[in-house]
């Protein structure tokens, strides 16, 4: 055998799997057809967060007077904003290359195809070479989903990759889809002065997020200037000069909206085409490759991780699954558990969730207790001038264990780890609430919310609420 482990795909799942396998003593081959770091680093997580930081700083400049400050002739150069985004991506990419090199992992550039359960063909231009490996890990990720809308192939109708490649802010943008990707990009470009309208088929935006949190988020986004059309369907797209006319129906009503660009953000689909899955006999469907909790596919010796499995499409989920697959590929026996998998939406403010929503807990027949704590009652949030949002904790009424934590507010993506740790380790709300938190800090909002389950919160008037199945 040429290698102990071959990994197909160099994104946050693939390169983590490769490094972990190498750490465990395996000889590893990593195959990537485009750019190391995958969508997350090059066209997703890192670029959007870099843009968001620039957008936040621009918002701060516009509200200087609230902090007793003054500045004249402020403005932004979006070309330079985009330039910084590229610099950040390249800096991180260099770091990953160094990690790959230091772990003595071989890299091959090209398109991989399975020839057998331990054989891979790699094509690059006209050249093709085959490699053998005892174990293979598939980490090919996902791609923007195509939509069956007439006019979706127009030049001014773009996906998230194309939007992030722009060096100028469009004057107007219609976003089709109100999931995490659509909402994040809508918020970023609205911050830079783009007129944004989001169209969503479902009754509400972010359909997988706790309903109460979403209501608060929608209010804040509308206040920021984003327009939402829910329960609405895009019927067609057509060009009219330098704009795209979007025909939208809601029930029996119809309207047209013209925009400079239209963003297709209706989801992502796993990249399985051309992998040779049928030839080898790996089970899969339109949702992705079927795996068990060890990340094993239906063919012995072949694993699949990340977006290509269609299970949990977060970069950190791919990394976690990569570690599990790598350990099992070199003889381990570990499993993955998604019950404490946090999810984050990077807007201003942020949204972060982990565990069950209120509806999910009730549908599961749980007897629950709930408390909420507003950031407006948190000293650190008031001093920052970032008081929008709240913390919501759902606890088991009998055991006191945290079932779910949902945060909309400043630094929610950092604060959510208290919830993830609690759910993973079956901690109670009392254990969170009775742990001393620093003052002043945003984390006190989590503590106060936990204390509020039993009516012990000092800095809120409203008592806890409970539901029984």
Residues acting as catalytic residues: 439
Strand, helix or coil for residue 106: strand
C-alpha to C-alpha distance for 321 and 369, rounded to whole angstroms: 32
Q: Is 112 within 8 Å of 141 (Cβ atoms)?
A: no
Dihedral over Cα of 196, 199, 202, 203: its sign:
positive
Other beta carbons within 10 angstroms of residue 24's beta carbon come to 16
C-alpha to C-alpha distance for 393 and 416, rounded to whole angstroms: 11
Q: Pick from 46, 48, 38: which is nearest to 14 by CA?
A: 38
Map tokens 């790996």 to a residue. Answer: 282
C-alpha to C-alpha distance for 327 and 21, rounded to whole angstroms: 7
Q: Is 410 within 8 Å of 364 (Cβ atoms)?
A: no
Torsion of CA 40, 42, 43, 49, to 10 degrees: 70
Phi-psi region of 367 (alpha: psi -120 to 50; beta: other; left: phi over 0): beta
Within 111-259, strands assigned E span 111-116, 119-124, 127-138, 142-144, 157-158, 172-176, 195-199, 227-229, 233-240, 243-250, 253-259
Within 291-386, strands assigned E span 302-304, 343-345, 350-355, 368-374
Strand, helix or coil for residue 21: helix
Q: Is 358 within 8 Å of 212 (Cβ atoms)?
A: yes
């Amino acid at each position: 055998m040429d290698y102990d482990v071959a990994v197909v795909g160099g994104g946050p799942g693939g390169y983590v799997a490769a490094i972990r396998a190498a750490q465990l003593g395996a000889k590893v081959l990593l195959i990537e057809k485009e750019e190391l770091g995958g969508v997350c680093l090059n066209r997703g997580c890192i670029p959007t967060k870099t843009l968001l930081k620039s957008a936040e700083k621009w918002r701060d400049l516009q509200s200087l007077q609230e902090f007793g400050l003054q500045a004249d002739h402020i403005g932004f150069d979006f070309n330079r904003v985009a330039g910084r985004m590229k610099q950040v991506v390249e800096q991180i990419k260099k770091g990953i290359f160094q990690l790959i090199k230091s772990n003595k992992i071989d890299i091959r550039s090209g398109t991989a195809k399975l020839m057998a359960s331990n054989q891979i063909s790699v094509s690059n231009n006209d050249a093709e070479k085959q490699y053998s490996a005892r174990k293979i890990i598939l980490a090919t990720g996902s791609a923007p989903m195509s939509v069956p809308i007439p006019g979706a192939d127009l030049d001014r109708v773009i996906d998230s990759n194309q939007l992030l490649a722009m060096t100028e802010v469009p004057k107007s943008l219609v976003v089709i889809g109100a999931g995490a990707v659509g909402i994040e990009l809508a918020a970023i470009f609205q911050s830079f002065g783009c007129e944004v309208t989001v169209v969503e088929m479902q009754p509400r935006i972010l359909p997988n997020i706790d309903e109460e949190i979403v209501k608060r988020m929608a209010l804040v986004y509308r206040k920021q200037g984003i327009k939402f059309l829910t329960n609405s369907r895009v019927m067609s797209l057509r060009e009219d000069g330098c704009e795209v006319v979007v025909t939208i129906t809601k029930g029996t009503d119809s309207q047209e909206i013209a925009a400079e660009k239209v963003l297709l953000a209706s989801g992502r689909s796993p990249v399985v085409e051309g992998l040779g899955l049928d030839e080898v006999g790996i089970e899969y469907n339109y949702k992705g490759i079927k795996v068990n909790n060890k990340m094993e596919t239906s063919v012995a010796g072949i694993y699949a991780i990340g977006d290509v499995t269609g299970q949990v499409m977060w970069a950190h989920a791919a990394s976690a699954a990569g570690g599990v697959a790598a350990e099992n590929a070199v003889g381990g026996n570990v499993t993955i558990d998604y019950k404490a998998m946090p999810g984050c939406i990077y807007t201003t403010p942020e949204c972060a969730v982990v565990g069950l929503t209120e509806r999910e807990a009730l549908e599961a027949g749980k007897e629950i207790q709930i408390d909420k704590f507003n950031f407006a009652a948190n000293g650190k949030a008031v001093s920052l001038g970032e008081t929008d949002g709240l913390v919501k904790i759902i606890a088991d009424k009998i055991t006191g264990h945290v079932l779910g934590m949902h945060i909309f507010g400043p630094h929610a993506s950092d604060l959510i780890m208290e919830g993830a740790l609690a759910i993973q380790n079956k901690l109670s709300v009392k254990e969170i609430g009775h742990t001393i938190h620093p003052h002043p800090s945003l984390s006190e909002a989590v503590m106060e919310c936990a204390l509020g389950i039993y009516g012990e919160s000092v800095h809120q008037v409203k008592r806890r609420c409970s539901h029984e199945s």
